[in-house]
């Protein structure tokens, strides 16, 4: 971890955190260069989709079946009062000192309880940060440096996501699937959608779909059957230096987890120092 932080400059580190933790294509569409911090995406209004109708996107080369399955996946997640999963991701980044793509990995644990509770733990080749959202505030701590931050009052999960991505400069893992309307975010800028075919992810039978947007190509593997869960997501950032790839596997999905309320409550460790959001990444990059 310390070597990773020393090796990368601040802009590249921020891009690394953004890509490794995002876990979904649509919060990081505007990546232009690996040496440029990734801007937060503006909040998107949910798409108005009638559940009795097939969702549509006004573009050419759109397979409606690929949209329908994406909508079913979105509905699976939004209809669950709570869920938890574990994500393993790999991201490529252009080396700042030579013409080579370097590979970094991250592990993320997520537990969500509607309407306003979220717990995220990150580890691997990124700062070890634990994030808590409990009713009206976000708290996050960098365990390696024992530095934490607490947000002002926040009224909803979507507002929390926008705050953390924008003002706090922390990129949530799979931010799209934590949103109240993942389908709206994932179809907003599509220019192409198709079903690739059947596949298996970690032994589970899936349907493999491919999508294109102006700045990225992305693929998703959705579990077959009524429980339409995302099991893998892959992306190619077409405008980033070297066209890096991102891959995340979602494992250990639980749509009926027994979550103790204590896991969403931030408890300040002894001798922890409070700072403002944004400091966690800035200080980490200095090391």
Task: Provide the residue range defining the domain that includes 113.
Answer: 2-286
Which region among 18-22, 106-110, 175-179 has the lowest average model confidence (pLDDT)?
18-22
Phi, psi of 279 (to 5 degrees): -65, -35
Q: Tens of pLDDT along 72-93?
A: 999 999 999 999 999 999 888 8
Residue 143: pLDDT band (50, 70, 90) is confident
Do residues 88 and 197 lie in contact, with contact meaning Cβ atoms separated by under 8 Å?
no
Task: State the pLDDT confidence band at 239, using cuts at 50, 70 and 90.
Answer: confident
Cα-Cα end-to-end distance for the chain? 10
> Do residues 228 and 76 make contact, with C-beta atoms less than 8 angstroms apart?
yes
The CA distances from residue 152 to 42, 68, 164, 171, 270, in Å, are 19, 38, 11, 18, 22
Give the pLDDT confidence of 148-191 residue by residue, as tens digits: 999 999 999 999 988 888 877 776 656 889 999 999 999 999 99
The pLDDT confidence band at residue 27, using thresholds 50, 70 and 90, is: very low
Question: Mean pLDDT, to the nearest integer, of 13-39?
Answer: 40
Angle at 62 between CA 61 and CA 64, to 5 degrees: 145
What is the C-alpha separation between 250 and 258, in angstroms, rounded?
19
Q: Can you give the CATH number for the domain in which 30 is found?
A: 2.50.20.10
Number of domains present in the structure of the chain: 1
State residue 126's pLDDT score. Answer: 78
Cα Rg of the chain (Å, integer) = 18
Average pLDDT, the chain: 79
Reported as a single tens digit per residue, the pLDDT across 38-59 is 333 333 343 444 444 445 454 4
- pTM listed for this prediction: 0.78
Q: How many CB atoms lie within 10 A of CB 181?
A: 19
């Amino acid at each position: 971890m310390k070597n990773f932080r020393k090796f990368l400059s601040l802009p590249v580190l921020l891009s690394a955190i953004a890509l490794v933790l995002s876990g979904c294509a649509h919060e990081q569409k505007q990546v232009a260069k690996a040496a440029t911090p990734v801007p937060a995406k503006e909040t998107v209004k949910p798409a108005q989709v009638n559940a009795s109708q097939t969702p549509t996107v006004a573009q050419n080369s759109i397979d409606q079946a690929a949209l329908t399955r994406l909508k079913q996946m979105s509905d699976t997640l939004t209809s669950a009062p709570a869920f938890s999963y574990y994500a393993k991701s790999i991201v490529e980044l252009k080396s700042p000192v030579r013409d080579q793509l370097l590979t970094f990995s991250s592990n993320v644990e997520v537990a969500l309880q509607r309407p306003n509770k979220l717990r995220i733990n990150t580890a691997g080749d990124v700062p070890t940060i634990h994030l808590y959202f409990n009713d009206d505030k976000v708290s996050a701590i960098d365990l390696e440096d024992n530095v934490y931050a607490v947000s002002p009052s926040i009224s909803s999960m979507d507002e929390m996501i926008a705050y953390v991505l924008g003002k706090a400069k922390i990129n949530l893992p799979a931010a799209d699937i934590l949103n109240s309307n993942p389908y709206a975010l994932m179809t907003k800028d599509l220019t192409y959608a198709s079903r690739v075919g059947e596949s298996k992810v970690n032994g589970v039978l899936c349907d493999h779909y491919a999508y294109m947007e102006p700045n990225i190509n992305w693929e998703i593997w959705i579990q077959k059957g009524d429980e339409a869960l995302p099991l893998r997501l892959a992306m190619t950032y077409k405008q980033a230096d070297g066209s890096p790839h991102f891959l995340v596997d979602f494992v250990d999905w639980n749509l009926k987890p027994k979550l103790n309320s204590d896991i969403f409550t931030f408890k300040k460790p002894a001798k922890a120092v409070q700072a403002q959001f944004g400091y966690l990444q800035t200080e980490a990059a200095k090391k």
